[in-house]
Structure formats: C-alpha cells, structure tokens
Amino acid sequence: MKYILILLLSVFVSNAQIQKEQLDLMPWPQKIDLGTGTFALNKNFKVNITANPNSRIFIGATSFLRRLDNRTGLFLPQNFLTQINESPEAELQINCGSAGKIEINENESYELIVTSSKITLNAPNDLGALHGLETLLQLLQNNSTSYYFPTVSITDAPRFTWRGLMIDASRHFQPVAVIKRNLDAMAAMKMNVFHWHLADDQGWRIQIKKLPKLTDLGSNGNFYSQEEIKDIVRYADERGILVVPEIDIPGHASALLAAYPEIGSKVDNGIGSYAIQTNSGIYNAVLDPTNPKTYQLLEEIFDEVCPLFPGAYFHIGGDENNGKEWASNPRIQEFMKKNKFSGKHDLQTYFNMKLIPMLKKHSKKLMGWEEIMTDNMSKDAIIHAWRGVNEGLQPGESLIKAAKSGYNTVLSNGFYIDLMLSIATHYQNESLSKNALLSPEEKARILGGEAAMWSELATPLNIDSRIWPRTAAIAERLWSNENVNDLQSLYKRLKTISFRLEEVGITHIRNKEVILRNISNNQNTIALNDFSNVCEPLKNYKRNGGGKKYRMHSPLTLFADACTVDASDAIDFNFAVKKYLDNKNIENEVVVTNFFRKWIKMNTDLIIVSSNAPLVQPLLPLSQKLSEISEQLLLLIEKKQNSDKSKLNILIEQANIRNDADVELAVLSGIKLLL
Amino acid sequence: MKYILILLLSVFVSNAQIQKEQLDLMPWPQKIDLGTGTFALNKNFKVNITANPNSRIFIGATSFLRRLDNRTGLFLPQNFLTQINESPEAELQINCGSAGKIEINENESYELIVTSSKITLNAPNDLGALHGLETLLQLLQNNSTSYYFPTVSITDAPRFTWRGLMIDASRHFQPVAVIKRNLDAMAAMKMNVFHWHLADDQGWRIQIKKLPKLTDLGSNGNFYSQEEIKDIVRYADERGILVVPEIDIPGHASALLAAYPEIGSKVDNGIGSYAIQTNSGIYNAVLDPTNPKTYQLLEEIFDEVCPLFPGAYFHIGGDENNGKEWASNPRIQEFMKKNKFSGKHDLQTYFNMKLIPMLKKHSKKLMGWEEIMTDNMSKDAIIHAWRGVNEGLQPGESLIKAAKSGYNTVLSNGFYIDLMLSIATHYQNESLSKNALLSPEEKARILGGEAAMWSELATPLNIDSRIWPRTAAIAERLWSNENVNDLQSLYKRLKTISFRLEEVGITHIRNKEVILRNISNNQNTIALNDFSNVCEPLKNYKRNGGGKKYRMHSPLTLFADACTVDASDAIDFNFAVKKYLDNKNIENEVVVTNFFRKWIKMNTDLIIVSSNAPLVQPLLPLSQKLSEISEQLLLLIEKKQNSDKSKLNILIEQANIRNDADVELAVLSGIKLLL
C-alpha cells in the first residue's frame, strides 16, 4: 500500500508544473520561456529535416534518435535518416537553412519551440541545429511510466565563439576511441574546438610519410596514422567541431630531435644525443633557428600536416623554451649577435616569423602559447594565454595584454583541468569578464577559452574522469551569459549532466569502479569507494613531486587515479557541518555524526580488505587518521566531552601530511570548522 | 587488535604452501610441477629477451610489464623493450629461438620455470613465449603486502591448433576498439584465430576501393577502412592471432546486392529492389551464379580483400541460402537444367568451385560453413561445422562427417555463444571427443573450434558480456587436455579470470553498471543489480521472438542487456538449496531463507526506484512474483506452515511466462526443488 501511494504521489508530481530551476540544462541557454504543458514522447516519434543542409544534420539527428531510444527503451521507428522531407508529418521538424562552416565566428544560434503536439527546431545552419538537439535531449523529463518534454520556447547562441578542449596525446598516447568519445561529450556540451597536442618531449604522435623517422624513433610505436587523423577530423566535423593541431616547437622537441638530432641546438649538433623523455618536466631540447635545415624539415612537416586539417588555425606551441641550449651554443650566440637580437625571445620571434609564410601557404593562421607574444610578432598570430598566478602574473593578465596589443586571443589560464582543482575554481574564472577597460574592438579579440588536459598523469583509463564533468562547467562559462554563475545550481544540474555523459561513452564513472576493483584484488569495494568519496588527488602537480615520482610508464591504476576532484561525500559533509553550526539541532547533528560512524566502519573494513590487497596498504595510515579524528569528534559532539582539542589538532595536522596514497582528505575544512 | 590478528593470520596463510588447486590458471596447462618456494616480485624486476625473435615478443613483453605494474602498483623500471640482451641480469629470461609464423599447426609450446631467484621462459618461437607470459601473469599471488610467484615448472602446448572466436560485425557494427580489446582477451586465453564476419544482409563492413558503392549503399556509413583492417591484422599478429575474413556469399547478400542489384537472382535482375535488412532472420537475397558479372565483381573484391589478410584462409560463408530466388528465376532454372544440376546444392557447389581459383591466386584456401560440403566440393576446402540439434542433426555430426570425408574441419556447433546458454553447455561440448571411430588421419583433420558471436542483439555496449567469460571456458576446452573438465574448478577459477579480463580492457563488468544506471534513471542501482543476478536473458533466440521484436536500430540498453548467462546469485542459490536439502540444519536453512528475504526487500526497493524510472516498470511483474514465491517459501520453511503448494505452483508457473523484460528467472530450478 505504501508503495502504491508513492507511485500515485510520483504521478502527481510529474503532472505538476515544471519549474525552470528543475531543468538540468548545461550550458544554460540564453533565453527560456517555459510553458505549462507537455509534449508526450511515444514510440511513433519521428524526425523530419527540411531546407538544404549537408550530411552533418542527418548523422546528428540519427544519433539523437539512438540516444533517445537507448535512454527511454522506446523502439523508435526511424533508422538512418538520409533524406530531406522524408517524414513531413513528423513531430520534430528541423529547419536549417544551410550547411554551417566549421570555422570561428560562424553563426551557431538556434531556436527550439516545444508545444504539446509539435517540436520545431529552427537554425540558420546545421551547427545551430545540432546544438538544439542537445538541448532537446537535456529537456527530456519522465514520470513513473513515460517520457515527455515540457512546452518551452528557447532562443540560444554562444557568448564566445571559441569553446575548446585541448588533449595532450604526447605524454600519454590517447587512442582514437578516447578522442572520439571526448568529441561526443564536447558536442553534448556545445563545445566547438578540439585542440590536439600532437608532439612534445615524450612523444611524436602523427605519421609524416616523408619523414618516417619521426614516428619510428620518436613515438615508441604509439602514433596516429594520417588515415586516423582524417577519420577524427571528419568525426569532429560531423559534430560541428573544428580541430586545431599543435606541433610544439621550438622547445618541447625531444621526440622530434630523437629522430632528427641534426636540427637540434646542442653544440655538437646533437647527433644521437637526444632521446624521448620518460619523465615530466621542462627540457632543454630545442630546435636550432639558425639552421636552414630546420625550416626545410618543418616545411615538409607542415606540408603534410596542414592538408589533414581543413580549419584555419595551426598551433605551433612555442612555450617554455628555457633557452639553455641556445645560450651554450657559440654558433647560435654568434648568430644572435650578428642580428642584434637582445635575447632568446628575439631569436624565438625570428623563428616564429619564419613559420608564418609556411603556414600561410596552406591558408593557416599561426597560433601559439603566449610566449610567442613578443614586440615584433605578427598581429595575425593568435595568442593562447595560459600563464597566471603560478607563473607570477595576474589571472587574465596575458589575455588582456594580447587583446590590447591587437591580437586575437584564447584563454586557458584558469582552465588547466590537470591541476585537479575544484569545479568552482574553473567555473568562477573571471578573467574573461575583466574587460571593463577594453574597447569594443579589443573585447572582440577575446575569442573564448579552452580547457587544457595535459596528460602526464592521464591514461585512457583515467583521462575521462580528469576531463569530465569539470569541463562541462567550463563549457557553460564559455557559452552562457556571464551572469549564469550560481554554484548550487551548477552542482545540482551537474549530477544529471555527469550521469548522461555515460550515454555518449564517457568512462569517468565506470572506470573508477574498474580501478577500485583492481586495488581491492577483486574483493568488496564498498569501503574503498567510500574512502574515494572523501579523498582527492593531490593538486597543482604535487602528486608527481616535481615530475620525479611518475614516469610515463609508471602505473596510473592507483587509488589517486580512482579519486576525483570535488569528492562527493566531502562536499556533502562540508555542507552538513555548516548547516549544523548554523543550527545545532538533532537532525543536523545526526547527519554530521553519521559521517563519522561511516568513516570509522570504513577504516575497519579497509583493514580487512587490505589483508588480501597490497594496494590498499598505502591508504591505511590516512584512513586510520580519519577514523581517529571521527572518534574524537563523536566524543566531542555526542558526549559533549571536552575532548582533547590539542590531540585533535595534532591528528588533523598528521592527516594533512603528504602520504603514499598521493591524495588529500577533502573533509578537513569541514572538520576544522567543528573545532 | 582484532585487525592485527587478521593481518598476522593472512601473512601466515600466504606463507603456507600453495596447492595446485589454488592456482587460477585458464586454460589449464598440460603439465604443472609445483614447488614449495616463492619468487618475490619487487620493484627492480626486469625482463630480458634472448635469441632471435621478431618485434612481437618485445611488444608482448612490454605489455606484460605494464599489466604487471598496473596490477601491483610497482614502479617497474623498464619502459619499452626494444633490444635483445638489454638486461642480461634480469630476473625473467625469455628465450625464444625464432619468429613464429601466424599460421595453423605452428608450434605454440612453451616451458616456464620459476625458481626462488629466477624465472625462465623457453619457447621454440615467440608465439609460445607470449603464451608463457600469459601463464606467468596468471600465476601471480599476493599476501597482504607483497606479490610473488610460486616456484613451479610448467610445460604446455595446445590440444587443438585452431582456437577461434568469430565476431559478427555486420548485424551490429563493432568499432576498431571493440575488436582490439577482444583480441587482447583472446590472447590472454591463448586463442589464436579471429574470424571476422564482415558482410551479411544487415551491412557490408569493408572498404573496397574499386567498388565504393559497396560501402556507400551497403553500410550506412559503418565500415572498416582498409587502413583499419591492416591495423587490426597487425595488432592481431602482434598477439599471435591469425585473422580469417569472411564475406558471406552467395546468400546473406542483401547489403552487397543493395549496392549491386545487377548480380542478384531476382527475375527482374533486381535493379533497385534490394535493400540493407534491418531485421534479423534469413532472407532470399542471393547472388546469381549464372551471371558472369557476379564472378567479375567477386574477383575484384577478393583482389582487394585477400592482400589485406596475410593468413592462408578465406571464409566465404555459404550458409543458409534458401534458394527461393533461384527457384523462381526461369533463366537460372534453365541454366540448372542445361547443366544437369539436381538442385540448389549443385548450383551452389558450382558457384563455390568458381571461387577456389580466385582465392588460390592469392594463396588462400576456401573455408565455408558446412553447407558447402556437397559431393563435388573440393577437399581443399575447410568445413566449418555449425549445425546440430536445433537443425535436426546430432551434436558433432557434421564435424565427424567432414573429417571422414577428407576435409579439414572446425567446430562451432555447441560454441554459439549468442544463444545465451550456460557456460557448462559450452565447456561440456563433447563433439570434439566423439572421434573414437576416427582413424588418426581423420582425427588430425579436426583442427579445433570457434566460439561464434552473432550480433543481432550485441552492440559495443553489451557484446563483451556476451563473449566473456564464457569464451574462456571454450578456450580451455580447445587448449587443455580432454580430461580437464571439472565444473566446480572452472567456476572457481573463472571468478579471477573474469575479473582479470578487465585488465586488458574487456567491459563486461563495468558496462553492466552503465546499463543499470541508465535503467534506474541515475538512482540507486542496488536492487536492480540484485535482480540482475537472478535473471538471465531469454535463450535460444527467444528474446527476439522470431527476429521480429528487435530491429538493428532498436535499443539494446535494457535490463536483459545488463543480465548475463550464469546469473551469479542464481548459481549460489541453487547450490544452497541442494546443500539444504542434503542437510536441513539451521546454517544451511539460513543461507536459503536469506535469499528470500533479500528478494522481498529487492522487490520493495524496485517499486520505489520505478516511481522515477519507466524502464524499471517492465521488471516489476516478475520481481513481484519472485517476492510472493519468497514469502510463501519462508512460511513453508521457517514457520513449517503447510503452505498452499498449489498456490506456489501457480506462482512459479506465472513466473515462467514470457515477460516484457525479456529475461527468465534463473532460480526457478532451485525453487522447484524445495516443493
């Protein structure tokens, strides 16, 4: 009887008016007018496409149908959509006038109108229509037995034209399947630029047919064939995504120089003395800008790489050249003197400027990390702003400087997701708004931003959980209105958004369980899972201890790899503590003390699991500390014992020390509040 | 204190002598001499390779190291192994005389000797060495803090030379990543033939450059490029696996004929009247063997396909041609009369014989499903035996007939894993042993067997759970001695083996959770998981109700897709019932009754979940029945009430009726025993 009541109640709830706040949309659209009715989804639901788009919308609409029936279990009738006006009677009408161009500043707007009997999606081109389909999927609601859309009218368009994700495929190679599923997730979040970091000290990852040594000697066999590159570019195009390749030069060139040491800057011209790097860090290996062979080889590379990427941009890296090899090579010093170069920056600008015509030949614009922004650099270059507080600059400082100096610019400072910082950090990245003093012309030069996923500690197994769901918040920052910035709303919507990313193949949830099963040695993972929900990987590259702990072939199947930023129980606990301190009633107290009981039990269970699981051993000191802290706090709160606060403080301090698990307790802030 | 005791205890246990029965090896080696000591694995562990193999063993040994450090968390020092005698002092010495050939009847033996200070792996070639590395990985043991190998001496070689897995990439396209991870799992189970079903009524999946219409009109855009084929063949080669392509002709040809209707057998020559099929089943579409253009086109196809596959075998299908189009085409009937063909089999033999020289040109032998075995068929052909009881034949009948008739033959009857039959069914497939009456020469013609994974109901999301872990049992049947057949030992070892398949990327465990999360609409999945552990998908193609329920684009994200054969709780429950009936003591009773309490609670929880999850609704009638049966049985057992058995029988009968969840309760056999 009780359950019948629940059922009835839920039917009742489902018929109640949906509030805008209930919608789990991300990025949040520019304008939503919510009606009071519903459009009921049933198994006869069909899609029709009109106007004159390219094949992109047929692929997108087919994929929309498959995601809809996979999610709902409805056996929708349409298979592959292939023709215009195939089903004029269809409930969903997609009108997209023309084929969108995969380029910056293309119109990506759309209008979505759901009435109780019809859904209309209008867009000037298929790119907007694809965005509209993602919004429609996010609008889907259900009661206990069926699915429906709320009646609504949405008009939407992005705030910034450049909404990117960079994936580093050099430090750890990321196979085609990893890239494709992340392109799908990007499309779901209306992101439109995939920046592909293809070469660095740890590996050269793109086949160059004329220069096979690059992959023979620079990749350990892990690279993309040109066919695979084309396949991914096509796959991205079908999802409305521009691919920007990056070949990082003149620094970060160990892998390139392992193949062609003769264009390196070592005094002996480096023959045989460069090698692929297997640690993290910044290396000396740098191309020789004074050697004509350098440009000859680069031109051969560009001549093969550029035609693979139809987009207008080519990223040449240009970052973190320490100049040491240049400084210690007398021939290069002589060259600089002769040319009256005041320092390594002048030499690098000289080098960069030589690249521009090579790229121009292929109608490509040069893009580079902000180090390329020197006095003499061409204003045609796009400046990729990445440095900030860690590098002694103000947040957004380089972005503003670039815009004021006349450069188009893209922001990644504040969007380095490999730093393992909280979603709030990225969501509240205000640099894009610090443009009060910019002229409209200068403002227009800020194209947008990019999440940057460096892969020193990211493998195909764990990379999705490093990118997602935090990148969804970055996508919203770049798409939605500046004043869409409520953290509670973000957290709430993210629960659904993160779950739905599984639908497009993102493995952030499932692979966590794989890692925990491995750690547990196939035992029960409940305690490990509980512990992972209060621990976060060490932040700001601390996990890798100056790049010395993990080499590129070190295991990344450890507890820290199962843990993620924004540990879920930690968020809940820290929130519960604040609520309890606001009002020390018994309900609020129990919520807090139940966490302590859970952690005491968890520690006990972890000890049991550890008896047959060596990989659990490194976690025990920390879980033991948490258990002891919990016991003390239970005494303090429940028994009102004036427990020994200094003992507690010592425990907390000990829990704060770097441990062999390479994680930090994310509940310490809440715990400290209780003292 | 309690936990310190547990720890001490476990250290004590770990130092105890390992028994052979404790080893989770699969397939079980031919000869094992277990010592009493251990080889301790530590972070300095290295591998050295001697003799003169090809690059295969370097790739394999590198992968061995990565799996070892991913599993143990040890930071092993070696990165990519590339040279012979790189680390002569290494603890593991691999000696493999030469490069193995990827062909049938190649020597795959190895010898593995573990002493307390050294591990030696000897093999005549690198193929045997790769198998030895898999055995070594399976030998790894641990105590609470560290890892070790038992001292042991193993000599091993396969019983059959053909140990295959067929994957149907036509019904549902299976992307490169799916194929690669399954090749890795095959290698882990010492399987050596990947049979790739590339064309059928539902899709043509291989690029033919000279005939682009095949994929333009026959694939809906889902096909392998020739570069991808080459990549997979190379990947398989690196793992010691032969790839056998299949182009299914003259029947199963709807997709081919959708592109080239002019070589079909329809009266009107079919122009425009063939289409890719979107349902399961057997279709009429068949090539016209009387049309010279047919052979011209096939030759063009073979000329492109054969060079992609260096192996000696080419599978031409040849199955399930119903002959209807031939029968109703007067021109074809006339041709048969003129040639004095007695029926469709003669015409098909005529067709098949025309293929042999086309394949011979590329040094390929023709292989086909058993229907090709007609009186006039060349004895060079390899007969793939698949029919059995369901087709009115005795198990193994065709295999014996083929061997007696002078054909080399491979068995798939009894290994159709898409039938969703229990692991015991496949493990106890005795057909390979029914050779008592065969001469040694005839016996030698039985090359081995193949698990057959047809994909009408298998997508990239669920296919791994259809293939694994059952195919591991088939691998053992084909590798190990005939008398290795203890089911309890199989089940016991499989718990570890199945878990370790995650290590090579198999998704059977993780994707189950993905499907359940989708069904639950992101709610708690405990009850759904409990229910999935007593339910199995309908068997023998009943799920698809004569091929009519599911089309190729229907959702396969349903409860039945999360369920697997050999439902784990059902096995435990049915076993517990037998134990209880043998001895009705209170311990045995509680084990049984706890299941009933669990299922009553589960049903309650499912109802709660269903209030926000339409996909749970179809499960409720069945879980409700199980709950009611459980209540009745609790009364019967605990209260010794003479409960109404006829009521129970009716409930059980009702639980046996086909339901909308497309699953069956796997606990009914145990329940019936209790009555």
> Could you report the per-residue pLDDT of B136-193, keeping only the tens digit for each?
999 999 999 999 999 999 999 999 999 999 999 999 999 999 999 999 999 999 999 9
pLDDT of residue B272: 61
Determine the average pLDDT of the residues in A315-338: 95
Q: What share of chain A is helix, strand, coil (3-state, %, to 5)?
A: 45, 15, 40
Chain B CB contacts of A553 below 8 Å:
65-66, 69, 76, 78-80
Which of B64-78, B221-235, B639-653 has the lowest average pLDDT?
B639-653
How distant, in Å, are the alpha carbons of A288, A412, A568 from that of A282? Answer: 17, 19, 34
Task: Quote the percentage of chain A above a pLDDT of 70.
Answer: 96
Chain B: residue whose CA lies nearest to A612: B144
Tell me how far apart the alpha carbons of residues B458 and B115 are, in angstroms, rounded to a whole number.
45
Question: What is the C-alpha separation between A601 and A594, in angstroms, rounded?
Answer: 11
Subunit contact A614:B228, Cβ cutoff 8 A: no
| Among B206, B243, B210, residue whose Cα is nearest residue B227 | B206
Asked if B281 and B541 count as a contact pair (C-beta separation under 8 A), the reply is no
Q: Which residues pair with A384 in a beta bridge?
A: A369, A410
pLDDT at B271: 63
Of these residues, A86, A299, A300, A320, which one is catalytic? Answer: A320
- Provide, as residue numbers in chain B, all residues whose Cβ is less than 8 Å from the Cβ of A175: 177
For residue A2, pLDDT over 70 is answered with no
**Parallel/antiparallel/unpaired status of strands A141-142 and A147-156:** antiparallel
**In this predicted model, what pLDDT tens digit does every residue of B180-234 receive, in sequence order?**
999 999 999 999 999 999 999 999 999 999 999 999 999 999 999 999 999 999 9
The C-alpha atoms of residue A410 and residue A450 are separated, in whole angstroms, by 7
Residue in B278, B550, B611 nearest the CB of A6: B611
Does the beta-carbon distance from B10 to A612 stay under 8 Å? yes
Using CB atoms, which residue from B73, B503, B514 is nearest to A615? B73
Q: How many other C-beta atoms can be found within 10 angstroms of the C-beta atom of residue B636?
A: 18
Residue type, B357: P
**Residues of chain A found within 8 Å of residue B72, distances taken between Cβ atoms:** 555, 614-615
Please tell me which of the candidates A144, A521, A551 has its beta carbon nearest to residue B612.
Answer: A144
Judge: A513–B513 Cβ closer than 8 Å, yes or no.
yes
Q: What mean pLDDT is predicted for residues B574-595?
A: 97
| The pLDDT of residue A269 is above 90 | no
Give the dihedral of Cα atoms A503, A504, A507, A508; nearest 10 deg.
-80
Name residue A446's beta-bridge partners: A409
Q: Which amino acid appears at position B665 of this protein?
A: L
**pLDDT tier at A525 (50, 70, 90 boundaries)?**
very high
- Which value, to the nearest 10 degrees, does the dihedral of the CA atoms of residues A378, A382, A385, A391 take? -30
From the list A6, A502, A612, which residue is nearest B514 (CB)?
Answer: A502
Write b or e for each residue in B60-79: b if 16 or more Cβ atoms lie within 10 A of its Cβ, otherwise e: bbbbbbbbbbbbbbbebebb
Distance of CA A86 to the CA centre of its chain: 38
CA distance A542 to A565: 14
Of B134, B144, B83, nearest to B108 (Cα)?
B134
Instruction: Determine the pLDDT at residue A392.
Output: 92
pLDDT digits (tens, 9 = 90+) for A361-396: 999 999 999 999 998 899 999 999 999 998 999 988
**Mean pLDDT lowest for which of A446-455, B604-613, B649-658?**
B649-658
d(CA A85, nearest CA chain B) in Å: 19
Name the residues of B annotated as catalytic: 320
Task: Kindly list the residues from chain A whose CB atom is less than 8 angstroms away from the CB atom of residue B551.
Answer: 75, 79
Q: How far apart are CA A572 and CA A591, in angstroms?
A: 10
Task: Give the β-pairing of B141-142 and B147-156.
Answer: antiparallel
Exposed / middle / buried, residue B376 (Cβ in 10 Å: 0-12, 13-18, 19+)? exposed
CB contact under 8 A, A6 and B607: yes
Structure tokens, B571: 């096995």
| A613: chain B residues, CB-CB within 8 Å | 142, 144
pLDDT at residue B152 in the model: 98
CB contact under 8 A, A10 and B72: no
- pLDDT grade for A15, boundaries at 50, 70 and 90: very low
Contact A517 B509 (CB under 8 A): yes
Residue A640 has pLDDT above 80, yes or no: no
Cβ separation of A7 and B558 shorter than 8 Å?
no
Asked if B608's CB is within 8 angstroms of A145's CB, the reply is: no
- Rounded mean pLDDT of A82-86? 90
Q: Determine whether the interchain pair B509/A514 forms a contact, defined as Cβ–Cβ distance below 8 Å.
A: yes
Contact criterion met (CB < 8 Å) for A142 and B612: yes
Among candidates B502, B517, B555 on the partner chain, residue whose Cβ is nearest the Cβ of A69:
B555
- Sort strands B47-50 and B92-98 into parallel, antiparallel or unpaired: parallel
Q: Is the pLDDT of residue B11 over 70?
A: no
Cα Rg, chain B, nearest whole Å: 27
* Residues of chain B contacting A496 with CB distance shorter than 8 Å: 522
The per-residue pLDDT for range B402-451, each reduced to its tens digit, is 999 999 999 999 999 999 999 999 999 988 876 668 999 999 999 999 99
pLDDT value, residue A435: 62
Full DSSP string of A475-494: HHHHHS-TT---HHHHHHHH
pLDDT tops 90 at residue A659? no
Specify whether the CB–CB gap between B147 and A617 falls below 8 A.
Answer: no
Residues of A in contact with B7 (CB under 8 A): 607, 610-611
Contacts of B543 in chain A (CB under 8 A): none
Report the alpha-carbon distance of residue A200 to residue A254 in Å, rounded.
Answer: 7
**pLDDT of amino acid B434:** 64
CB A309, CB A194: distance < 8 Å? no
From A151's Cα to the closest Cα of chain B, the distance in A is 20
Query: Which chain B residues are closer than 8 Å to A145 by Cβ?
Result: 614, 617
Per-residue pLDDT averaged across A562-569, rounded? Answer: 97
pLDDT higher than threshold 90 for residue A11: no
**CA distance to partner chain A, nearest, from residue B142 (Å):** 7
> Is A9 a residue whose pLDDT tops 60?
no
Name the 3-class secondary structure at B514.
helix
| Confidence at residue A434, expressed as pLDDT on a 0 to 100 scale | 64
Kindly state the average pLDDT of the residues A179-189: 98
Nearest to A528, CA basis, from A544, A543, A514, A538: A514
Q: Which residue from B9, B518, B552 is facing A71, i.e. has the nearest CB?
A: B518
Nearest-by-CA chain B residue for A499: B522
For the record, the structure tokens of B576 come out as 């517990």
C-alpha span between B28 and B26 (Å, rounded): 5
CA distances from B357 to A58, A130, B231, B292, B352 (A): 43, 51, 28, 15, 10
Is the per-residue pLDDT at A10 higher than 60?
no
Within B478-556, strands assigned E span 535-537
Intra-chain end-to-end CA distance of chain B, in Å? 47
Q: What is the 3-state secondary structure (H, E, C) of B575-637?
A: HHHHHHHHCCCHHHHHHHHHHHHHHHHHHHHHHHHHCCCHHHHHHHHHHHHHHHHHHHHHHHH
Q: Distance (Å) from the C-alpha of residue A71 to the closest C-alpha of chain B?
A: 7
- For residues A188-198, average pLDDT: 98
Of A437 and B374, more confident: B374
The residues facing B367 across adjacent strands are B315, B382
Contacts of B74 in chain A (CB under 8 A): 555
Q: How confident is the model over A402-427, as pLDDT tens digits?
A: 999 999 999 999 999 999 999 999 99
**pLDDT-based confidence at A436, cuts 50/70/90?**
low
* A552:B74 CB<8 A: no
User: Which pLDDT band, with edges at 50, 70 and 90, does A272 fall under?
Assistant: low
For residue B271, report the phi and psi dihedrals to the nearest 5 degrees.
-50, 120
How close A611 comes to chain B (CA, Å)?
Answer: 4
What structural domains does chain B harbor? Answer: 2-156 (3.30.379.10), 163-504 (3.20.20.80), 510-673 (no CATH)
CB contact under 8 A, B80 and A175: no
CB contact under 8 A, B503 and A509: no
* Contact flag B514-A496 (C-beta cutoff 8 Å): no
Q: What's the rounded Cα separation, in Å, for the pair A249 and B327? A: 69
Counting Cα atoms < 13 Å in the Cβ hemisphere of B463 gives: 24
pLDDT value at B13 more than 90: no
State the angle between helix axes of A487-500 and A126-139 in degrees (0 to 180), rounded to the nearest 10: 100
Between B401 and B14, where is the model more confident? B401
Question: What count of other Cβ atoms lies within 10 Å of the Cβ of residue A184?
Answer: 20
Cβ–Cβ pairs < 8 A, chains A and B: 171
Rounded to the nearest 10 degrees, the angle between the axes of helix B292-305 and helix B344-360 is: 40
Disruptive mutation site among A508, A518, A526, A549 for chain B (greatest number of B CBs within 10 Å):
A518
% of chain A beyond a pLDDT of 90 = 89
- What is the distance in angstroms between the Cα of A432 and the nearest Cα belonging to chain B? 34
Q: Average pLDDT of chain A?
A: 94
Contact A69 B518 (CB under 8 A): no
Q: Give the residue-averaged pLDDT of B576-586.
A: 97
pLDDT at site A18: 83
Cα of A462 to nearest chain B Cα, Å? 12
Residue type, A415: F
Question: Which of B56, B602, B611 to probe by mutation at the A interface, max A CB count within 10 Å?
Answer: B611
- Whose tokens are 């009364």? That residue is B635
Q: Extract the tokens encoding A329.
A: 């090579």
A3 to chain B, closest Cα gap in Å? 7
Q: Is residue B638's pLDDT more than 90?
A: no
pLDDT for the residue B474: 98
Whether A265 and A288 have beta carbons less than 8 Å apart is answered as yes
From chain A, pick out residues whose CB is under 8 angstroms from the CB of B79: 220, 278, 551-553
Reading the block at residue A222, the tokens are 């892990």
Q: What is the pLDDT of residues A109-123, one digit of tens each?
A: 999 999 999 999 999
- What's the complex ipTM? 0.95
**pLDDT at residue A13, as a whole number:** 45
- Phi, psi dihedral angles at B181 (to 5 degrees): -65, -30
Closest CA–CA distance from residue B409 to any residue of chain A (Å): 36
Confidence of residue B4 (pLDDT cuts 50, 70, 90): very low
Looking at chain A, which residue has its C-alpha nearest residue B79? A553
B277, closest residue in chain A (CA to CA)? A79
Measured distance CA(B507)–CA(B651) in Å, rounded: 36
